[in-house]
Amino acid sequence: MHERLAAEPYCYLTTTGRVSGLPRQIEIWFGLRKRTIFMLSGGGTRSNWVRNLLADPRVAVEIGGEGFRGRARIVADPAEEAAARELVAGKYDRLDSDWRRSAVVVAVDLEP
């Protein structure tokens, strides 16, 4: 993916409301590595956007005016989780934060 997109300050993540079935969009900090977007949920799995993607992992993401489709997942692999925490927290100068250490790591694997 283009470096310009990785440098954008935030992305827009659209999930499907688990109760309403309607699109729900949030603005969120992110990190981009190849075709995977990483985000940290400070509210853990209690956050509505995380609860929505657990019910339906199909999501849309907009970065710098470009739209993408993908599948979201909670990152379970310890190495991938550590790299994602470093990527996202480092981008926003939050390497020494509770948010970096305790947030749930979410990945969106983008469709080709």
37: containing domain:
3-110
pTM comes to 0.94
CATH number at residue 85: 2.30.110.10
pLDDT in tens, 47-99: 999 999 999 999 999 999 999 999 999 999 999 999 999 999 999 998 888 88
54's tokens? 């657990």
CA pseudo-torsion sign 47, 48, 54, 60: negative
> What is the number of domains present in the chain?
1
DSSP string, 26-57: EEE--EEETTEEEEEETTGGGSHHHHHHHH--
Q: What is the pLDDT of residue 100?
A: 85
C-alpha–C-alpha distance, residues 68 and 90, integer Å: 24
pLDDT in tens, 33-44: 999 999 999 999
State the average pLDDT over residues 6-11.
95
